[in-house]
Amino acid sequence: MENLSQVLPRVLVVSRRTVRKNKFVDFVGSSLTSLFCCMHGEYHLDLIVRYGCVPVIVPRVTGVHMLLESFKPIHGVLLCEGEDIDPSLYESEISSLSPEEIQEIRETHASDTSIDKEKDSIELALAKLCLEQNIPYLGICRGSQILNVACGGTLYLDLEKELTNKLPEERRTRHIDYDNYDEHRHVVRIVENSPLRSWFKDSLDRENMEILVNSYHHQGVKKLAQRFVPMAFASDGLIEGFYDPDTYNPEEGKFIMGLQFHPERMRSNDLDEFDYPGCPAAYQEFAKAVIAYQKKLSSSMSVPKTLVLDGEMESKRKILVRCFSLARYMYTKGATGKNPSKVSELEVGAEFLESNTALSTEQETRLKEMGSTVRNGGSYMKKLKVDEEKQRIVRNMMNKMNIEQLSELMAFYHLIGNICGELLEQRLRGNVNECFKDM
């Protein structure tokens, strides 16, 4: 059976940590109630599996942020709820809140205000990895805040103190209600021509672009990072959803998005029926992007099948191998060789070397060791200098490109490499015959 990591699209999800009965407990969920009483179930994991992906849990363990390469292949990242993000990661100015107000916030939101710097490090590293490599990313609640901070955005330390209390009564929005936790809803207005608009279109009309969403947060986006575009606003002006329009195309494996609300939990009385038909769409489109990205990644990393040669071509291949072996012997021993047949075989190797004008540094080093400079050494060195100059020009040009441009360029050349591999395999027999037609 094939390696499952090459078959099943993998979505990384970071766990949370708490203390229970004097022991650390790592869990994935929105609350300890959902962990121990299973009242809500892990809806986001259910949806990931339903739409064809496999969740891979990244434990919140010290040092894991330095080991993320070991979790590859990574086809998608889903980051959800958690504690407040360390303000030092995004606050460039001293907060306007007084020490008394900050203490009041800590007492009111005790379960959220205990900073977990290790979780911050892991999730910020994952978010930046997704941004650098165009890996599909879906951020829910805290996950959307992580995405914004990773791109240079900022957050309100506390919505009630910094936003709500400064607005007239009719514009105020309550973003968390501990007495009516899962049933609490507030209005958001969806932006035209956004993914949210297409997902909830059956529940909207042109006169009323509003839906009711759940809300479990006391912080939110203050300054949205420049690369993102808002998709929804609360009545108080808070951004409730955003995405990168330049990297949104699920069919091509592109998806970078943050939602402040939890569409997977917008259900009545824990029923399977959603508040709106469009609620699961974010997960469905995210999974679609993950699957497409996995296919694209697998294609770029695939190794061409070994070509099976017939008897005649295998004999000619062995002659080439013999040529290189004799060339290396001559180079290391300083001998020209007495056997005329061996000298004749060397002519084939020399013609082959002369025909290769674009060699990698590794190939050039290897050919030096095997005696490529025995014949036409001056011409070979000239080719080296030309190649070095080309590399210098290309490096200068690429140094001016941003991360997105470099990623797109790399993807393009992966595609070109795949096409060349296919054509090379088709034409190899004809090319080898042509090389040996004068033998």
Task: Identify whether the C-beta of residue 200 lies closer than 8 Å to the C-beta of residue 276.
Answer: yes
**197 Cβ contact list (under 8 Å, min separation 6):** 190, 191, 204, 209, 231
Q: Would you call 130 a catalytic residue per the annotation?
A: no
For helices 281-301 and 403-435, angle between their N-to-C axes, nearest 10 degrees: 40
Catalytic, 312? Answer no
> Which segments of 151-202 does DSSP mark as H helices, in order?
159-162, 195-199
**Active-site residue (options: 123, 162, 264, 345):** 264
Length in residues, the chain: 439
Collapse the DSSP code of 106 into the 3-class scheme (helix H, G, I; strand E, B; otherwise coil) and give the result.
helix
Exactly one of 53, 80, 130, 141 is catalytic; which is it? Answer: 141
DSSP 201-256: GGG--SS--EEEEE---S-EEEE--TT-EEEEEETTS-EEEEE-GGG-BGGGTB-E
65 counts as catalytic: no
Active-site option among 217, 262, 279, 323: 262
- Residue matched to tokens 């290769």: 356
Task: Compute the distance between CA of residue 97 and CA of residue 46 in angstroms, rounded to an integer.
Answer: 40
Structure-block tokens of residue 207: 């006169």
Cα–Cα distance for residue pair 423/425, rounded to 1 Å? 5
Strands 185-190 and 54-58, by their bridges, are unpaired
Would you tell me how many other CB atoms lie within 10 Å of the CB of residue 177? 15
DSSP secondary structure string, 243-301? E-GGG-BGGGTB-EEEESS-GGG-BSTT-SSBSSTTTTHHHHHHHHHHHHHHHHHHHHH
Using alpha carbons, list the distances in angstroms from residue 165 to 162, 170, 174, 233: 7, 12, 11, 18
- Contact indicator for 112, 84 with CB cutoff of 8 Å: yes
Residues catalogued as catalytic:
141, 262, 264
